[in-house]
Amino acid sequence: MIQAGLDYANNWDPQSFYRPVPQVKKVRRTYRKTNPKGKVVFKAAVALFVYALILVYLCIKGAVLGYQIVALEKEIQELETVNRRIEYTVAQKCSLDYVEAAAMQLGMEKASQGIAVAVLPDIEQVTIDENTETPTQAEKNPLNKLYNNLLMLAHRNP
């Protein structure tokens, strides 16, 4: 040793020797013991709870949709019944008996079972002048032409 040969006596201060030294408090750290299995169990329990909530929601949603389907089927049956009633009413109004009764109420009479004869209307001879180049509106109508032809056939074939 080298230090044994050094002299520290020059720096000796008796008051500093007896002066109280500030005490430093030691802080003890406490470490918690963690249980990794407990964390896994807690996470699994939370996941299971969320899964159960989703499962219950889906079951409720399915039941609600089932009730809606039943209500819609009932509404369809009611509409089909109303449709059949309307079809029956239309068929009833179009029947020949109903039409005949309505005609009687309006004052019409039943036709006799005789031979019907077509009567020729008085047809005026139309002379075409130099001023009239187109036929009249009555001659243009195809239904009038057909009617006139039928009258001519009925007149020729007694």
Q: What is the pLDDT of residues 48-84, one digit of tens each?
A: 999 999 999 999 999 999 999 999 999 999 999 999 9
- The verdict on residue 124 lying in a domain is no
The count of C-alpha atoms lying within 13 angstroms of the C-alpha of 112, restricted to the half-sphere facing its C-beta, is 4
Which pLDDT score is estimated for 132?
47
Which pLDDT score is estimated for 5?
55
> What counts of helices (H) and strands (E) characterise the chain?
5, 0
Domain count, the chain: 1
- From CA 79, how far away is CA 130, in angstroms rounded? 68
Domain interval for residue 45: 36-97
- The verdict on residue 61 lying in a domain is yes
Amino acid making up residue 24: V
- The verdict on residue 130 lying in a domain is no
| The dihedral formed by the CA atoms of 35, 36, 42 and 48, expressed in degrees to the nearest 10 | -150
Which pLDDT score is estimated for 82?
96
What pTM value is reported for the model?
0.41
Which pLDDT score is estimated for 129?
55
